[in-house]
Homo-oligomer: A and B are copies of this chain.
Amino acid sequence: MAVPDLALPMPRSRADCETLDAADPLAALRALYELPPGVVYLDGNSLGPLPRSTADRLAKAVRDDWGRDLIRSWNTAGWIDLPQRLGAKIASIVGARPDEVVVADSTSINLFKLLSAALRMRPGRQVIVSETGNFPTDLYIAQGLIAQLGGRHELRLVDRSAVETAIDTDTAVVMLTQVDYRTGSRLDLAALTARAHAAGALMLWDLAHSAGAFEVDLNGAGADLAVGCGYKYLNGGPGAPAFLYVARAHQPAFEQPLSGWMGHASPFAFDTVYRPASGIGRFLCGTPPVLSMVALEAGVDAVLASGPLGGLAALRAKSLALTDLFVALVEARCAGHGLALVTPRPRPQRGSQVSFTLPDGDQGYAVVQALIERGVIGDFRSPDVLRFGFAPSYLRFADVWDAVEHLRDVLATRAWNQPRFLRRQAVT
């Protein structure tokens, strides 16, 4: 396997990595997270770690706001404004205006809202274009919507490389996840948005593996719609609420079917007829989950704390250095065991993760389990992907070194070949 050029001098030892860490301008950010000793956490793309401020902020929200002030906290603690206030913070992370993002529900639910609204905006067009490898829930939601609308629409699924040519004048909306959850391949958000627009289609981005990991410029790309996840690089905690983005120009005309009372123009007037709020608030539905939002806000604030240190551009630079290093070290030190890189080598095409395959999926699963037992936490994605996320806020170059050494050892000693690492049936 060819070792790619590193942007940094190739470290030859753990000491070299420690030197890089000592020079890392973002090193101070690690202290914002609670990371268990002895763990190299390469799964922040699945569940971000606990920010150090979360427990206290949540305890305050529970004991003071809920426990002491009770119902009054909807006003006095600003609970009622949380979806918009938190949305505005996330807007600054994804290149949107403050009034273009709101926090609500789950990514799946938000996709349903936006796809519904998009199809109404393009009534003469019947096609949703996406890719076969998109995250399943995105496809399932499109399928559920199409069934509900009577089957008059088509979900056109093509290979990632064929998306551009699949977009045509029947296309109502193009729905893509910018970073592939399996491979870490990253799409050109601006170019694909322009391609969708050239065909008269709307562009809906899923930023699950983008938001908080690197710079996203929704406004700059002229993107119409987006959703994103609160519990990955935004560190909002397990099942944290999601966010959605609707470009300001679309908001007045966009209507969506999940028209709950929190999206009403005047929810406390208790009218019998739904009248959507004027702005992004119309994409709210039920009562906001306050405790989960308080936790999410702590996670978002931890990302925003990178601002004085260079912000998302600096995070991206470090992320690329970490993933460059991981690829180089794995290919140099773990050769001969069948690992094949499936993450694109060109930097612009890479998200913040690195994935390898092993020919035998059961072996791949077992290798990941053996690593987890040693404290190197990545994950496995069927059928054959070993996935390692590199969140630049808290990972060190020395962590990369350690992870690779464990991987090398697990492969070289066949430590993965133990009954306890056998693949079990997936949870249903």
Contacts and interface: CB of A to CB of B under 8 A. Distances in A.
Contacts of A240: 289, 291
A319 interface: no
Given A70-B47, A106-B260, A292-B291, A277 B377 contact: no
A132 interface: yes
B287 A239 contact: yes
B116 A105 contact: no
Interface string A132-169: 10011101110111011110000001000000000000
A309 interface: no
A158 to B, nearest CB: 12
A258 interface: yes
Contacts of A287: 106-107, 231, 238-239
B49 A67 contact: yes
Interface residues of A, number: 95
A242 interface: yes
A36 B70 contact: yes
Most B CB contacts (10 A, CB to CB) among A105, A135, A266 go to: A105
B272 A139 contact: yes
Interface string A323-344: 0000000000000000000000
Nearest to A263: B140
A264 interface: yes
Q: For A116, A144, A147, A427, which residue has the most chain B Cβ atoms within 10 angstroms?
A: A144
Contact of A261 (B70, B136, B286): B136
A95 to B, nearest CB: 24
A80 interface: yes
Contact of A136 (B59, B67, B148, B271): B271
A273 B140 CA distance: 7
Contact of A55 (B47, B63, B256): B63
Interface in A245-262: 255-262
Given A50-B67, A239-B287, A289-B292, A257 B427 contact: no
A43 interface: yes
A259 B140 contact: yes
A240 B292 CA distance: 9
Contacts of A59: 55, 58-59
A66 interface: yes
Given A39-B70, A231-B287, 14 more contacts: A43-B70, A58-B58, A79-B238, A137-B262, A139-B274, A145-B257, A237-B291, A238-B287, A239-B293, A242-B286, A266-B428, A268-B428, A281-B428, A289-B289
